[in-house]
Amino acid sequence: MTEKANGELKGTGREEAVPARFAPFLEDLLVAARAGWTPKYLLIAWLSLLPFFVLEALWQNYWTGEWLRAGGAGSWLLFLGLALLGGGWFLAGAGMVAAAAGWEYGRECRWSVAEAFGQVRRRFVTLLGSAFSIPLVLGILILPLFVGCLLLGRLPWGAGRILSVFLLATLGIPLGLMAAGFLVLGIPALLVMIPAATLDCRESFEAVSRSMSFFRARPLKFLAAAGIAAASSCAAAAATFLFLAGFLGFLALAYTLGTELGSLADFNQRLGGLLAALDPCWPLPLGGAAAARAESGMGWAAVLLWGSLGRLITASWTASFLAAMTRLYLYLRWELDQEPPSCLVRDEERFSWE
């Protein structure tokens, strides 16, 4: 891949057959943290996270109350359906970030939001299938044992227990080992499964097998790069939090100075309530945000408003981490399959015999 600079062709360094050493590539992972401050990536990640935040707010304020108990199975099915829709929405946003970040890294092409959406629209079935492959396979492995033991347990005179133990001994141990191996390989592989399904693979099985084989071939590099990407993404999220904290501090100070009895204690209390409403550690239950929001007396609508603003912090981390994992996938593909990042092609650019 080359690009024109001052009338001359200049190599990007990602078109060679032999990849760069791993240590210089780690610099690319750190550079990927800037995706957390890029408006395009930040907006996509923020919009993809909002349904989950709204669902959690509804769960805490409505579904755990009388409405859920009165609704019975219908309310649970409604919540499950909304959660699945939210998961699909998030996968679409994550795929858009991965598509745009991959083409920016591989071919120095800055995709628009519309182009990234078009790529995800063409690969959404593959993306959805690869994301749900792990729970699906685990269900296929474990469900027959559960159903078999349940049915055998109904046999009289203790025969059910004997047959259940025999079933677990003959099928449970090998299927359990298969499930454990699939988990060990599949959970880390999820980190690069989204870029694999979005950029390369047309089938869900291909995306899953390729991601798992990359982790199996280079586990130490994979985990080291994921750790560095997570740390650099935390730095991007911390910078976003500091920006929002300064903005909220200005609002709290303006409100305090505008009141007749404004004081430093009033300012501290109001600023603390606003920062707690941001809930920067969401979705992790850290920092005592719920207790701080309760002490501030903030209503549910205000919590939802400021919490939605706070999801910019989570979106910053998500965009940075997805961009870094996309670069990791392209680097491992470069190293293991000898396919440079510049080999990315659009669907309309693919050769067809038809």
pLDDT at position 151, please? 76
Tell me whether residue 9 is in a domain: no
Tell me whether residue 29 is in a domain: yes
pLDDT digits (tens, 9 = 90+) for 341-354: 888 777 666 655 55
What sign does the dihedral 346-349-352-354 (CA atoms) show?
A: positive
Beta strands in the chain (DSSP E): 2-5, 8-11
Tell me whether residue 2 is in a domain: no
Question: At residue 264, does pLDDT exceed 70?
Answer: no
Question: At residue 69, does pLDDT exceed 90?
Answer: no
- Per-residue pLDDT band for 1 (boundaries 50, 70, 90) equals very low
Q: How far apart are CA 188 and CA 94, in angstroms?
A: 17
* Contact (CB, 8 A) for 91 and 322: no
Question: At residue 43, does pLDDT exceed 90?
Answer: yes
* Higher-confidence position of 83 and 5: 83
Comparing 129-138, 212-221, 292-301, 329-338, which segment has the lowest mean pLDDT? 292-301
Identify the three-state secondary structure at position 10.
Answer: strand
- Per-residue pLDDT band for 241 (boundaries 50, 70, 90) equals confident
Tell me whether residue 16 is in a domain: no
Mean of pLDDT values over 63-85: 69
**pLDDT > 90 fraction of the chain, expressed in percent and rounded:** 22
Question: At residue 293, does pLDDT exceed 80?
Answer: no
Q: What is the distance, to the nearest Å, from the Cα of residue 352 to the centroid of all Cα atoms in its chain?
A: 33
pLDDT digits (tens, 9 = 90+) for 153-184: 777 766 777 777 777 777 778 888 888 888 88
Cβ-based burial of 258 (10 A; exposed 0-12, middle 13-18, buried ≥19): exposed
Q: How far apart are CA 15 and CA 107, in angstroms?
A: 9
Query: Which range of residues forms the domain containing residue 81?
Result: 22-344
Question: At residue 209, does pLDDT exceed 70?
Answer: yes
Tell me whether residue 8 is in a domain: no
Cβ-based burial of 193 (10 A; exposed 0-12, middle 13-18, buried ≥19): buried
Tell me whether residue 256 is in a domain: yes
Tell me whether residue 351 is in a domain: no
Number of domains the chain is built from = 1
Mean of pLDDT values over 177-198: 88
User: What's the pTM?
Assistant: 0.81
Tell me whether residue 255 is in a domain: yes
> Mean pLDDT of all residues in the chain?
79
Q: How far apart are CA 236 and CA 32, in angstroms?
A: 10
pLDDT at position 9, please? 35
